[in-house]
Amino acid sequence: MRDPLKIIGANGKRRENDFYPTPPECTYALLDYLRQNFLLRSTDVIWEPACGSNAMVDVMACQGYPVIATDITQGYDFLEYEMQDHFDWIITNPPFSLSEQFIKKCIDYGKPFALLLKSQYWHSAKRRELFRSHTPKFVLPLTWRPDFTGKGSSMLEKAAAYLAEKLARSKAGKALLEGNAERV
């Protein structure tokens, strides 16, 4: 297992394990979109493999979804662990420094997945081959800048949800995820 204390971004200035809890409004917007477009059913089991402090898990459970929550800090390294329990979806905000590995692992599971990443994630030449071989079925930009720091300030870039693999219940497309701060 990798040493969780060494999973940090460039020049060591990122938080330990790239831990930035997902603001609830991001998860609400994503679940609303998936539900309204008949991609996520109320009986679907969601696996959140980078659950951290359960920010996304709490919203999913509040919405009535059965959720499996694991995290590297609990001894479940998503990139090495093989889930044995049944699940229908993978939904997470992966550590940015490991996002490409998370995408590949999600693809290996062959289940639908949604990952919250920087909005310009695919604007990198080093990800061109991954994009070409596994083009996201949906890219869902957020219409606001979420506060991932918990300090009332937003990160420099917006976030977007990327949905991929085996979304047979809908056609590929794009949309904006609208936030609703009153739900939080």
| Residue 27 covered by a domain | yes
Residue 11 lies in a domain: no
Q: Is residue 26 part of a domain?
A: yes
Q: Is residue 118 part of a domain?
A: yes
Note down the domain range covering 155. 21-183
> Is 6 part of any domain?
no
Residue 154 belongs to a domain? yes
Within 1-127, residue ranges assigned H as helices are 24-36, 55-62, 99-109
Residue 157: its H or E element:
none
Domain count, the chain: 1
Q: What is the CATH number of the domain that holds 51?
A: 3.40.50.150
Q: Is 4 a member of any domain?
A: no
**pLDDT tens-place values along the chain, 184 residues long:** 444 443 333 344 555 656 677 888 889 989 998 998 888 999 999 999 999 999 999 999 999 999 999 999 999 999 999 999 999 999 999 988 898 999 999 999 999 999 888 777 777 888 889 888 888 888 887 776 776 666 665 554 455 666 665 444 444 444 545 555 455 4
* Among 89, 46, 97, 40, CA closest to 72: 97
Q: What is the pTM of this model?
A: 0.77
The tokens of 45 are what?
């089991």
Assess if residue 108 is contained within a domain: yes
